[in-house]
A and B are shown apart, each in its own frame.
Chain A
Amino acid sequence: MHDENVGHATTTGLDNRKMLMWVFLASDCLFFGSLISTYMVMRSQSGVGPFPGDIFDILYTSVSAFVLLMSSLTMVLSLSALQRGDHKNTRIWLLATAFLGAIFLGGQYYEFTVFVAEGLTLSTNIFGTTFFVLTGFHGTHVAIGVMMLLSMYGASVLGKLPQSSSINLELVGLYWHFVDIVWIVIFTIVYLIPS
């Protein structure tokens, strides 16, 4: 959403769009905060299995978490390339970021199918309910992020992502890093801390 008051200096000197993204992320904190709170309140309330300890494969999820974290690095490289006017590397790192995000999503899809095969669905127990909805909404955020990255790639190929509008990529980057940080919190609370 690229509205701006071109030529209108802002009161604080900060770009309007960047401030909008920060305000949105503040709001999204409460979004995930409420979801995570729900998970925390319910975490030991399941009467029937499977329970978290029965089905989590910590090693597998650690690898996909690592993949997602590395995508933050490639995101930074892409933005930095654009700010230098290096469009080739911008596109390479953009694709790399989207690719890593897609690997994470594929990993999550595979994990979900394994869990379902082991008998954990949305309506098996409250663990299944809260787990799938929390991680599913995070996955949706990642998927939207991948779409934005690919849109940026398309824009770059069509020559519509000049160095002068690197702010657009910066905004996508802010969102992308935020989604990564949320995963660190979810991964710690859901997978690493035993209930």
Chain B
Amino acid sequence: MASLSYILRRPTSEYGVWGWLTTVDHKKIGTLYMVTALFFFLIGGIEAIMMRAQLATPDSTVISADLFNQLFTMHALTMIFLAIMPLGVAFFNWLVPLQIGARDVAFPRLNALSYWIYLFGAIILNLGWFTATSPNAGWFAYANLTSIQYSPTNGMDYYVLGLLVLGTSSLIGAMNFVVTIINLRAPGMTLIRMPIFTWMAFITSILLVLAIPVITIGLIELGFDRFFGTLFFNNAAGDVLLWQHLFWVFGHPEVYILILPAMGMVSEIFPTFSRKPLFGFPVVVFSGIAIAFMGWSVWAHHMFATGMGPVPDSVFAATTMAIAIPTGVKVFNWLATIWGGNIRFTTAMMFALGFIALFTIGGLSGMTHAAAPSDLQQTDTYYIVAHIHYVLFGGSIMAIFAGIYYWFPKMYGRLLNERLGKLHFWLVFIGMNITFGPMHYVGLIGMPRRNYMYPADMGWDFWNMVASGGSIIMAIGVVVFIHNFYRSARKGEISGDDPWDARTLEWSIASPPPHYNFAEIPTVTSGDAFWHQKYPDGDKGVPHPVPSGGEDHEEVHIEMPRPSFYPLITGIGIALLGLTLVTHPIVGVVGLITLLWGSYGWMLEPAE
């Protein structure tokens, strides 16, 4: 029977290249996600620096108009789909099983598949750099800029196919985490005892499950228009505005997909470094749910300028303003958590505090364009660019940096260097404000976004030069971070299992955790489970030693899911299928055969 079922012998090695290619361990997959996403974060940053070089001076000719279009399109796509989203997923992978006391996710092989599809989707999206043109109609890809007539090169084909493949990856990953969080919690871990980061991962995953299919349909319709001559977004026969609705019905929940994991991270960091429980834990959870729910009713605030009429404008302005309430509640909960706490200014804490300040500024400017009349003045100006960078860089990226400094010891067993960390923080914090702060001003005095060149006599020169200078400061900060990451992973100070005196279960096991995570599945009797085990006599008491789940490596033998070739094979099949329409039918045939090989091999292989 065995010879019938296995075309491939099950891989056994957990090490070396094959170990990485066939791994199904959530921690290794988390590391793969993080390294790949940080790589694309650098690519996106280089694209941004190139644009700032062009915009530093008026009437500049450093970069052509066509390349500029590709750069702002790919910068947004790279940062959103290839950097921030997968960085969030990297943390889901690393932390969710550890925080809920599980040995892995519910479907380890599916988890590997979603990583491989992400990697291949990222490559497809970037193929334009090596062939003819990259996507150049903006990340929002408004119809009918994207029609064959106005985008005759392959650029927008890579957009359609790359995002379809990436969407598959996000969907598979999100479904896996929904099931994992519902079904693999340790005994006693009721939903309200679940750590706040896992809560936000849960909400984000549900958003992904419901939002991805909407953009999938938008992309399928666009793809049919481009490849098969349908009329969905045809100016005369179809409806160009339909694309905007489909895109933003996905696009606005997507904004919360980017920010909710960040909120979850800082919600873990504040309590630890203030030595206080998270203020109003259930309220933070319900605010997260409210944000996710209301996020579905605000999409058309991206479309005020399309002339929807006063009634839709008013409705969407009102729903958008209402979403500020749960967001504001969260901000006050974080402040109240810090209030009166025993604060330690570690790098992680500084990034988290920076997050509050910058995200609040971004939120406030967001309120100014929730009002439709004021938005009509701001649409397509640098004011909007300033807003989105305050929420996505000041919000998501600052929180992700905080998360990396906080959880790095759990991942590598070593601390990131704090001195370099603080240098990194100040460079990025100052650089980011110098870059994006002035954009509020040049936007309000009328500088349009997405233009590759501006004339000299508009009063924009000085602040554009300042913004470009700021971007260099940020770039130096990121270089310091990369150096710190690389160096500390090898030679950093040994951290011990619980370097921050933290509160949640991931800190109760060894750093880095053994591959089975918990030698014995913990039983949970309260929120902040690990804290209450450590301090049974209350916060002021003396810490009691907690038996670690991973100290007795030699004696413990726990069957874990074995590595598998099939996620990688299935992923290659999906990628080749995705490439069919821009290459040759033979690629599709090979892709289909590979996909069938992968999935049947997968099914016939025992899960464990």
Contacts and interface: CB of A to CB of B under 8 A. Distances in A.
Interface of A: 1-6, 8, 10-12, 14, 16, 19-20, 23-24, 26-28, 30-31, 33-35, 38, 41-42, 45-47, 122-123, 125-126, 128-130, 132-133, 137, 151, 158, 160
B175 interface: yes
B106 A126 contact: no
A3 B108 contact: yes
Interface string B103-139: 1101111100000000000000000000000000000
Chain B, interface SS category? helix
Interface stretch (B205-213, B267-275, B469-477): B205-213
A6 B184 contact: no
B183 A26 contact: no
B184 A5 contact: yes
Given A23-B175, A27-B175, A122-B230, A35 B217 contact: yes
A137 B599 CA distance: 21
B182 interface: yes
A123 B231 contact: yes
Contacts of A132: 230
A133 B179 contact: no
B221 A133 contact: yes
A34 B217 contact: yes
A125 B214 contact: no
A31 B530 CA distance: 41
Contact of A12 (B107, B183, B213): B183
A27 B184 contact: no
Contacts of B312: none
State the 7 A-B residue pairs at the shortest beta-carbon distance, nearest first. A34-B217, A31-B213, A30-B213, A10-B183, A3-B107, A129-B230, A123-B229
B603 interface: yes
B231 A23 contact: no
Contacts of B103: 5, 8
Interface stretch (B234-242, B352-360, B374-382): B234-242
B245 to A, nearest CB: 8
B246 A34 contact: yes
B216 A123 contact: no
A159 B239 CA distance: 53
Given A42-B238, A122-B228, A123-B231, A34 B214 contact: yes
B175 A20 contact: yes
Interface of B: 4, 103-104, 106-110, 171, 175-176, 178-179, 182-185, 189, 209-214, 216-218, 220-221, 224, 228-232, 234, 236-239, 242, 246, 249, 561, 599-600, 602-604, 607-608
Contacts of A1: 107, 109-110, 599, 602-603
Contact of A122 (B179, B210, B229): B229
A32 B529 CA distance: 42
A16 B175 contact: no
Contact of B178 (A23, A45, A46, A137): A23
A25 B179 CA distance: 13
A179 B306 CA distance: 36
Contacts of A38: 217, 221, 232, 242, 246
26 contacts: A1-B599, A2-B607, A3-B107, A3-B607, A5-B106, A10-B183, A10-B184, A11-B184, A16-B183, A19-B178, A30-B214, A31-B217, A33-B213, A34-B213, A35-B217, A38-B217, A38-B232, A42-B242, A45-B237, A45-B239, A122-B224, A122-B228, A122-B230, A126-B234, A133-B221, A158-B4
A47 to B, nearest CB: 7
A147 B401 CA distance: 46
Most buried by B among A26, A27, A28, A130: A27
Nearest to A132: B230
Contacts of A133: 220-221, 224, 230, 232
Contact of A24 (B175, B221, B249, B602): B175
A26 B179 contact: no
B603 A2 contact: yes
Contacts of B246: 34, 38
B255 to A, nearest CB: 18
Contacts of A45: 237-239
Given A47-B237, A123-B231, A129-B231, A23 B179 contact: yes
A27 B183 CA distance: 19
A19 B182 contact: yes
B183 A14 contact: yes
A162 to B, nearest CB: 13
A160 B608 CA distance: 17
A27 B213 contact: yes
Contacts of B220: 133, 137
A137 B224 CA distance: 12
Contacts of B4: 158
Contact of B210 (A11, A30, A41): A30
Contacts of A122: 224, 228-230
Contacts of B176: 20
B165 to A, nearest CB: 16
A91 to B, nearest CB: 18
Given A4-B607, A133-B224, A41 B242 contact: yes
A11 B607 contact: no
A45 B233 CA distance: 13
A14 B185 CA distance: 13
